Amino acid sequence: MLGQFERLLETVRLSAERPGFTELVIRAVDPAETSLVERDLRSHPLDAAALMDLAREHTHADSAYEVWAHWDLWVYDAASRRWQLRPHPLGIICHGEEYDDGLDAGGRRGAPGRALSPVVGGRGKL
């Protein structure tokens, strides 16, 4: 599972201004449980391979792996009346097949495959 997640992360177009993955959170069993691992990597962002090396210490089918980075998005600035390329938060979550009783990204239990959920715009923002 983490091999597939690593290959996905290698395809992420990270921000030129803020490259690298800046946070890793590993959760076990379900979202109500306390995180097993919370690594703040902002001072030393990692590439996908180094990030997955940290995650492999906790490889379990009932775990979820949450990573954060920044990617560049075009945003219209009304004050300057111009589009500007700026870094924005990007979170990607990989659920193990048994995490949260097998709940996948579509809300189905026991669905085949793994759930990969992108989170765009930062925590708590829609």
Specify the number of domains making up the chain: 1
**What's the rounded Cα separation, in Å, for the pair 87 and 17?**
7
**What's the rounded Cα separation, in Å, for the pair 90 and 72?**
10
Q: pTM for the full model? A: 0.78
Structural domain contains residue 126: no
Structural domain contains residue 80: yes
The residue segments making up the domain with residue 112 are 2-120
Mean pLDDT computed over 17-38:
93
Say if strands 63-77 and 37-40 run parallel, antiparallel, or are unpaired: unpaired
Structural domain contains residue 72: yes
Identify the pLDDT of residue 101. Answer: 85
Structural domain contains residue 125: no
The tens digit of pLDDT for each residue in 43-100 reads: 999 999 999 999 999 999 999 999 999 999 999 999 999 999 999 999 999 988 888 8
